[in-house]
Amino acid sequence: MLTHSPFLLTGTHHGRAFEADATYQADGHPKPVVVFVHGFKGFKDWGHFPLLADFFAERGFVFVKLNLSHNGIVVGGTGDLEDLDAFGRNNFSIELNDIGQVIDALFTPGATPIPAAEMDLSRLYLVGHSRGGGLVLLKAAEDRRVQAVATWAAIADIDQRWPQAVLDEWRRAGVLHVPNSRTGQQLPLHYQILEDYLANRPRLDIPHNVRRRVRQPLLVVHGDDDETVPLEAARTLHQAQARRRAADSAGRRPHVWRRAPLARNRVARARPHCGRAHRRVFPAPGVSTAVTAYLLLGGNLGERAALLHAAKAYLAAFAGEVLAASALYETAAWGREDQPNFLNQALALRTTLPPAALLEQCLAAELQAGRERRELWGSRTLDVDILMYGDEVIEQPGLSVPHSRLAERRFALVPLAEIAPHLRHPQLGLSVAELLAQCPDPLPVQLWPGNN
């Protein structure tokens, strides 16, 4: 029978209470301890995490999971994200200190309900999911009590390299909102999270710390088709670890492996297989998985040009590198004539995001512009469509790529032809220029006079 022991801690740096719990078999024998850290917009009891705790406990571990103190969960509340003010005031230093406080409590007799006889703290391991994966790497870099680390779909860098326009607006407004597609909430990120990163960059630089300071065995696990964190992040971590090993072998900082409870220095790649996770362990190659996606921005409400410019800056910050942008084009509304003219612009975006994650960022850009979906083909502040994603053909709920109406929309083909006339439609076999030449759409598309 498994023992489930909840406990409460109060942050020594911020005074906010946060919950944790331990799952284990109470047999009086010392067991290795795993501390599990959830990701961005996550919490300790999200999805399958309780089942994960049972799985580890049944195999002879003490499994500890925590709610990071500022993740939006309220002690004694609904169990889901509800304190958005705390969420907005979270930062990476707070989260690292929370993890450190849990580790300190495990090493302090009586600070948790777990009997000391049940724990072998010489075998303390950290596991983190998504953003939590980046956090456990940083904590392992600064805490030698941690003996091994495993990351699952971990981020590889905190620095998002936001364009200056986004930083200026974020600084001016003091807050940036990101969507929670699961709940429909708009989650605030106060500018202080960036200030915290800049003030504590040596502590929070993941690639640097993996190269220079993570001495423990490391297992990196990542799904091929993860919808939030691209597989390239796993390769980045593996390459950082490989450079550290090269430095060790050159004799600069020799390391002696004392134990190897987890597979070392490999990327574990997970695929769905017959209803179960099939894992392959392989040295990550150095090739990039980035693709070029083609997007169409459009809007006919508000300061149209300014909203398109802000959307381009947002996508450059959160979705990839803008390789090319067309001029702005003006056209009458397609499908509905009783509304103002639209401005449209095509973008070529180099991205490592999977299609579903790119779509989520497109929807987030729309929400940032105040988009409200009230009627089909109605007026809007911003619309962001994925026209093509490399040469892939995708049909899934809410996403059809290439865009199903691309060939019949002159307002999309004209700006796209400006930046990619030879781009070939993977289903129709025609180039964009050829599609434009035979497009049946009668609506004229004109260069907007306000183009610089």
Indicate which residues carry an active-site annotation. Answer: 371, 380, 383, 385
Residue with tokens 């703290």: 121
Whether the CB-CB separation of 87 and 59 falls below 8 Å is answered with: no
Whether the CB-CB separation of 209 and 137 falls below 8 Å is answered with: yes
The whole-angstrom separation of Cα 12 and Cα 3 is 28
Give the count of beta carbons closer than 10 Å to the beta carbon of residue 310: 18
What b/e sequence results for 393-417 when a residue is b if at least 16 CB atoms lie within 10 Å of its CB, and e otherwise?
eeeeeeeebbbeebbebbbbbbbbb
Give the count of beta carbons closer than 10 Å to the beta carbon of residue 189: 18
The whole-angstrom separation of Cα 86 and Cα 73 is 9
- Which parts of 266-354 fold into alpha helices (H)? 304-318
Q: What are phi and psi of 301, to 5 degrees?
A: -125, 150
Cα separation values, 222 from 137, 226, 273, 282, Å: 15, 7, 15, 11
Cα separation values, 291 from 150, 157, 401, Å: 28, 20, 14
Q: Which of 122, 140, 143 lies closest to 32 in space, CA to CA?
A: 122
Would you call 220 helix, strand, or coil by DSSP?
strand
Q: Are strands 329-331 and 445-447 parallel, antiparallel or unpaired?
A: antiparallel
DSSP 137-157: HHHHHH-TTEEEEEEES--S-
Q: What are phi and psi of 282, to 5 degrees?
A: -145, 150
What b/e sequence results for 216-247 when a residue is b if at least 16 CB atoms lie within 10 Å of its CB, and e otherwise?
bbbbbbbbeebebbbbbbbbbbbbbbbebeee
Q: Which of 290, 355, 353 lies closest to 317 in space, CA to CA?
A: 353
- Cross-strand partners of 6: 21
Cα separation values, 329 from 304, 344, 346, Å: 11, 5, 9
